[in-house]
Amino acid sequence: MAQVTEHGGGVWSIEVPIPDNPLGHTLVHVIETDSGPVLIDTGWDDPTSWDALTAGLAELSLGITDIHGVLITHHHPDHHGLSGQVREESGAWLAMHAADTEVVKRTRGAEPAVWLEYLTRKLAAAGAPDEHIEPLRRARASGGMRTLPGLRAAVPDREIVPGDLLPLPGRRLRAIWTPGHTPGHVCLHLDEEHPANRPGNGRLFSGDHLLPGITPHIGLYEDPDDATVTDDPLGDYLASLERIGRLAPAEVLPAHQHAFTDAAGRVRELLTHHEDRLRDLRALLAQPLTTWQIAERMEWNRPWEQIPHGSRNIAVSEAEAHLRRLVKLGQAEALTGSDPVTYVAV
Ligand SMILES: [Zn+2]
Ligand SMILES: [Zn+2]
């Protein structure tokens, strides 16, 4: 039995499992339009996930061939993974924000060796110890790396343009650009009366931007062809959160966990969480530290010693996102001439 929830007003969600992942599932939303049903996100590219998606649609008396279009909140594989198969079997259009479509194209074109070279350089610059970098060097030298995830991902054929009403006959759905979790993440605002007349401003499909019990990962917008980018993803994310807080939707339909109300309250919690984290980071920088040393000292969901190799890379990326925010705020700076570069509070 597929897990399907009816949210009223021609909106449903289907739990599509993410195999071997503590997140459990992606909530794929189905929205009725005058041209046929449209999906918001698709789920992980795996036969089990595909079966759950099609079983969920069957419960709504829909076949995959009925799908008219697919809106993707962001390029991550638990959202975009099944897009190719959905498009292939239904002929549906596939839309994404241009900034994330860029990432999809880049990933498809990437050579594992180029990516490993980039990662090695980044980690060395962050002050990672040799024993952490060595396995990457070995993998690169042997050419023995698995293919990168995302190589099969479908390139979208339509662009989600924020601000305008999306061309969905019979519905008032508008994209709000919410960069931070990824550069092209969008939330989708259903600018229609809440079906249960809940007070507030319509409903929001929030993707991974706003989740009831998870703080989304904020890393760097990595580009192996350009290691000099100094974007500020955490700053982007915080600004995107405030945008959603001001919107004050009556209900949030996120892509994981469950639907919830009080979007403004959840936004405040997340803003406070990052403020606290930045304050703790600034306190750590009473002494000069490399990005790696900062990552080792920041609080994660388990002790640093227990964090596996790949997750440490993600942690370093998240530490650097916080560090860049502090530097932008004028609360920390790089020590000139330090190599690897060390940062200190100012
Ligand atoms: Zn994501
Ligand atoms: Zn996700």
In DSSP notation, 47-80 reads: HHHHHHHHHHHHHTT--GGG--EEE-S-S-HHHH
Q: How far is the CA of 126 from the centre of ligand 2 (A)?
A: 27
Question: Hey, which residues does 25 pair with through a beta bridge?
Answer: 17
Task: Identify the nearest ligand to the CA of 28 by its number.
Answer: 2
Q: Let me know: does 256 contact 214? Beta carbons within 8 Å.
A: yes
pLDDT at 1: 67
pLDDT at 167: 93
pLDDT at 107: 82
Residue partners of 175: CB distance under 8 A and separation at least 6: 71, 97, 160, 161, 162, 163, 164, 166, 186, 187, 188, 189
pLDDT < 70 stretches in the chain: 1, 144-152, 226-230
pLDDT at 138: 87
Residue partners of 174: CB distance under 8 A and separation at least 6: 162, 163, 164, 165, 166, 188, 189, 191
pLDDT at 227: 60
pLDDT at 229: 65
Q: How far is the CA of 291 from the centre of ligand 2 (A)?
A: 26
pLDDT at 118: 86
Q: How far is the CA of 256 from the centre of ligand 2 (A)?
A: 7
- Three-state DSSP at 314 gives helix
Q: How far is the CA of 209 from the centre of ligand 1 (A)?
A: 8
71-105, pLDDT tens digit by residue? 999 999 999 999 999 999 999 999 999 999 999 99
Reported pTM = 0.94
Task: Identify the nearest ligand to the CA of 41 by its number.
Answer: 2
